[in-house]
């Protein structure tokens, strides 16, 4: 066989778009837990409790960093 004459197999498309993905069943426990935590404003209360431990010039909060990436 001469160089450059070999037939190569073609690879199918690797990328899958999000709209083609199937959503699995949700877990009722975590749905209810998230609902209850939202009702009592748990996130804000936890941030207030943890605030004294933040560094003044430390790393920004995780939520802020993710919000920047999503823009």
Contact 13, 20 (CB under 8 A): no
Q: What is the pLDDT of residues 3-61, one digit of tens each?
A: 777 777 777 778 888 888 888 888 999 999 999 999 999 999 999 999 888 877 776 66
Domain residue ranges of the chain, discontinuous segments joined by +: 28-54
Question: Model pTM greater than 0.75?
Answer: no
* Distances 5 to 1, 11, 12 between C-alpha atoms, Å: 7, 18, 21
Contact 43, 37 (CB under 8 A): yes
Query: Does residue 68 surpass a pLDDT of 80?
Result: no
């Amino acid at each position: 066989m001469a160089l450059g004459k070999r037939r190569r197999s073609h690879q199918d498309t690797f990328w899958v778009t999000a709209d083609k993905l199937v959503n699995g069943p949700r877990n009722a426990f975590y749905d209810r837990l998230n609902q209850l935590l939202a009702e009592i404003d748990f996130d804000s209360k936890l941030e207030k409790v943890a605030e004294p431990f933040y560094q003044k010039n430390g790393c920004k909060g995780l939520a802020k960093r993710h919000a920047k990436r999503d823009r």
